[in-house]
Structure 1
Amino acid sequence: MAVAGVGTTASTYEHLVKGYCNVGDVDSAVLVYKDMGRVQEALEFVRCAVGKFDLIPMEKSYEALTKGLCFEGRMEEALKVQAEMVGKGFQQNSEMYGAFVDGYIKQGNEEMAEALRKEMLQNQMQK
């Protein structure tokens, strides 16, 4: 729509999300929410979809949620989502480490940011 010069509204996003939900495409629905920049609503949506429909989000959905939470400085919630992601068998990648590092730096927690940098380097050396 943006390419065609057509503006979007909250209603447009709502219709897209509902449409993706109706066809069972949770990941696309989450990406639309991410595009809206409303991480909390996306997180609630995923929790609801998982609870009601036993859907398992894809790795990209977990990444988008985690990055968004880190960007907003909601580190404890981001850690919970990241732990859930790892529990589902997905691996944390360097982009996610970077999001956590940036989030901790924004909070002024240089010690945690440095610890994560070291952990990321160790994980990369082990591969």
Structure 2
Amino acid sequence: MDIDFAELELLAQQPLDVVEAEEWLASAAQLYENSPTHELFDRLESAVESYTLVRDHLATCLRESAEAEIAFFLSLLQERLNLLLEQPKPLLLEQSKPNDLPPDLQLQMQLQIQPA
């Protein structure tokens, strides 16, 4: 596959305003805020695969931009996973069936249920 990098090289030569980049990332974060987790995985995978294929041919500015995109999707995914880990577990011991629990918890529940 032949890739014409002429336009990309021209873009790479243009200075990137840091404030504009930060504003773009902030708006992009809002765009992906309600996206399913699998979509974030897919976007990260796509960015990494694309970068891996062309990184040796990219100008420094474009390489840094691609790395920032990968870091961006990685941070979104990390935030999402952290939120999932922080959510309380929906299953309470009282709602579970004794046979679904590990043996030590089964015994503990039996001891609590038995009248004194």
Check whether TM > 0.5.
no
Higher relative contact order structure (alpha carbons within 8 Å, sequence separation ≥ 6): 2
